[in-house]
Amino acid sequence: MPRAKSLDDLEEGNLWKHEDWQGDLWEDDELEIVDPCRTCGGEGRLLAAVCHACNGEGGVVDSFWEETNEEEPGRKITYRRPWLYPKQLDAIFTPARYAVVEASTKTGKTVGCMVWLLERAFAYPGVHWWVSPVYAQSKMVYRRMKRAVPKDLYVANETELTLTFPNGSMIFFKTAEKPDNLFGEDVLSVVIDEATRCREEAWFAIRSTLTHTRGLARLIGNVKGKKNWAWKLARRAEAETKSGSGVDYHYAKLTAYDAVEAGILELAEIEDAERLLPEAVFRELYLAEASEDGSNPFDLRAIRDCTVKELASGPEQTWGWDLARGRRPGSDWTVGIGLNKQKHVSGFWRFQAPWREQIQRITYATKRVLALVDATGVGDPIVEELQRNGRYEGYVFGTSSKQRLMEALSLEIQKRGIRFPEGPITDELETFEYEYTRTGVRYTAPAGLHDDCVMALALSNFKARPGTSGKLVVRVRGRHRKKEPIGEPEPVPAPPKRPGPPKAKPDMKRYWGQE
């Protein structure tokens, strides 16, 4: 019987019955799934493409299939699970519904979860997801998974990044950049890769897709500070694992030294990284230990000291507005933050809306209070529109201007001179980062996260500095003009004195003695 070339060539019905991990794939073809290292007790070392101790029973992720009688009906296809070292296997192949794995770089967390998700797709026909913080990371795993599976066992969709298998299972490779796009599906299994770099809203959406199916989730990634949702979820899983009370949660940590012991990393490489990297960076990337501050420019302890339960009272003295970028509709937020006389946050707006509605809401909230507005890119014409009805000044974000803004906010937070309510503002402040580049210091939110609240707070704080409540200098079509502030008028200067008659022109010949 000729091989099926696509799903359209297959007969309808249950194409693959699973009974003890065996069944029909392409009609007469037989799939057998084998645990490769059971003969050696799982103690074999990975050497090239095989498990050294059990003489070829194991294999790496790009080579774990074997075919016999390829051209004949009844061909047998044998799948052998790639060799996973004991800690790696226990961390990922736990019976718990949610497994949280805090792992150092290159310890096998991605490969292990690829194997887990593939086996889940074989065993349970349905929808299975791999979710990464950004598109490029999802596509990288998609390419690796394609290399791992024989080409005639799946149909690939390069546009949608999906792999469809004969039993009807589909693996989707998705991004967490837009959490709203993750709602709606019924998912049987999901891997959240680099969970510490994904937004919490993405986890909320993913969790909702597991409700009807009671699906399983594996959350993996490097440690990235202590103030993110993944770190908090890991602490819950760790507590339940240690107490033995957790049925749904399992926690595991994989360090670089675990990988060295298993023979997949060289000790010299880890020692070299320890010499070259800052201590906090090394401990997070190689030991899976969270640093207190990491690369946060504000000081986490100072952020906690400045956090209050709710908005302050009192009229706002200044407003800062960070505008959503039009190039990413639905992902960015327009955020406005107002500070009262004591520099406590007394006004807070956060919304997504079309440009015209944004202008209306900003005008309503700000009224006639001094406001500093993001005028970068598409924000410039909005500032011009706002200036028709209020006291708005544009602020263009560049490398140096953003650095001044962040340094002013950092100083105010570290001296405990500002107060803000817990919630989105504190979440963004705690995950905000800086790094040194050849052009200066770069301030930004981690990939996939927001910094709208941070920027709005920084703008409002910058406008509240002494000496900035006078005349506003605004940019209009590339030129500058001065706009008198609304409020107490300045005293009118006295008119200049009328000049007297011009003096007589001196006789230059007499002056030079030429008369």
Which residue type occupies 445? Answer: A
Q: Are 375 and 396 in contact (CB under 8 A)?
A: yes
Find, among 70, 84, 154, 75, the residue nearest to 118 by Cα: 154
CATH class of 84-287: alpha beta
Q: Is the pLDDT of residue 415 over 60?
A: yes
The dihedral sign for the CA sequence 309, 315, 320, 323? positive
| C-alpha angle 342-347-351 in degrees, rounded to nearest 5 | 150
* Cα–Cα distance list, 201 to 173, 182, 187, 375 (Å): 18, 10, 17, 28
Which has the minimum average pLDDT: 98-102, 190-194, 366-370?
A: 366-370
Among 179-193, 347-361, 432-446, 488-502, name the most confident range.
179-193
pLDDT in tens, 425-466: 998 898 888 776 666 678 888 766 788 999 999 999 999 987
Mean predicted confidence (pLDDT) in 268-281: 87
Q: Are 83 and 63 in contact (CB under 8 A)?
A: no
Q: What pLDDT shows up at residue 504?
A: 59
Q: Are 214 and 153 in contact (CB under 8 A)?
A: no
Q: Are 347 and 338 in contact (CB under 8 A)?
A: yes
| C-alpha angle 326-332-337 in degrees, rounded to nearest 5 | 110
Q: Is the pLDDT of residue 97 over 50?
A: yes
Q: How confident is the model at residue 324 (pLDDT cuts 50, 70, 90)?
A: confident
Q: What pLDDT shows up at residue 510?
A: 52
Q: What is the mean pLDDT of the chain?
A: 78
More confident residue, 53 or 124: 124
* Cα–Cα distance list, 264 to 35, 41, 45, 269 (Å): 20, 18, 8, 11
Note the CATH number of domain 300-483: 3.30.420.240
Cα separation, 36 vs 125, whole angstroms: 24
pLDDT in tens, 292-310: 655 778 888 889 999 999 9
The dihedral sign for the CA sequence 255, 258, 263, 269? positive
Q: Provide the terminal-to-terminal Cα distance of the chain, rounded to the nearest Å.
A: 126
Q: Is the pLDDT of residue 48 over 70?
A: no
Alpha helices in 109-199 (DSSP H): 109-123, 135-148
Which has the minimum average pLDDT: 2-11, 22-31, 469-478, 484-493?
A: 2-11
Q: Are strands 46-47 and 127-132 parallel, antiparallel or unpaired?
A: unpaired
Q: Are 143 and 135 in contact (CB under 8 A)?
A: no
**Domain residue ranges in the chain:** 19-83, 84-287, 300-483
Mean predicted confidence (pLDDT) in 498-513: 55
Contacts of 319 (CB under 8 A, 6+ apart): 336, 337, 338, 339, 347, 365, 366, 369, 370, 371, 372, 460, 463
Which has the minimum average pLDDT: 102-106, 193-197, 481-485?
A: 481-485
Q: Are strands 472-476 and 345-351 parallel, antiparallel or unpaired?
A: unpaired
Q: Strand 30-34's sheet: what is its strand order?
A: 22-24, 30-34, 76-80, 65-68
Q: How confident is the model at residue 505 (pLDDT cuts 50, 70, 90)?
A: low
Q: Are 383 and 394 in contact (CB under 8 A)?
A: yes
Instruction: Look at the block and give the residue holding tokens 């920027």.
Output: 455
Torsion-angle region of 46 (φ positive above 0: left; ψ -120 to 50: alpha; else: beta): beta
DSSP letter, residue 63: -
Q: Is the pLDDT of residue 148 over 90?
A: no
Mean predicted confidence (pLDDT) in 92-105: 94
DSSP letter, residue 494: P
Q: Are 106 and 270 in contact (CB under 8 A)?
A: no
Which residue type occupies 78? Answer: T
Q: What pLDDT shows up at residue 399?
A: 81
Q: Are 172 and 164 in contact (CB under 8 A)?
A: no
Q: What pLDDT shows up at residue 37?
A: 43
Find, among 206, 142, 204, the residue nearest to 173 by Cα: 142
More confident residue, 381 or 479: 381
Mean predicted confidence (pLDDT) in 253-263: 95
Q: How confident is the model at residue 211 (pLDDT cuts 50, 70, 90)?
A: very high
User: Is the pTM value of this prediction over 0.75?
Assistant: no
> What percent of the chain is predicted at pLDDT more than 90?
45
Which has the minimum average pLDDT: 107-121, 184-198, 472-486, 495-509?
A: 472-486
pLDDT in tens, 222-234: 988 776 889 889 9
Q: Is the pLDDT of residue 369 over 60?
A: yes
Cα separation, 320 vs 406, whole angstroms: 13
> What percent of the chain is predicted at pLDDT more than 70?
71
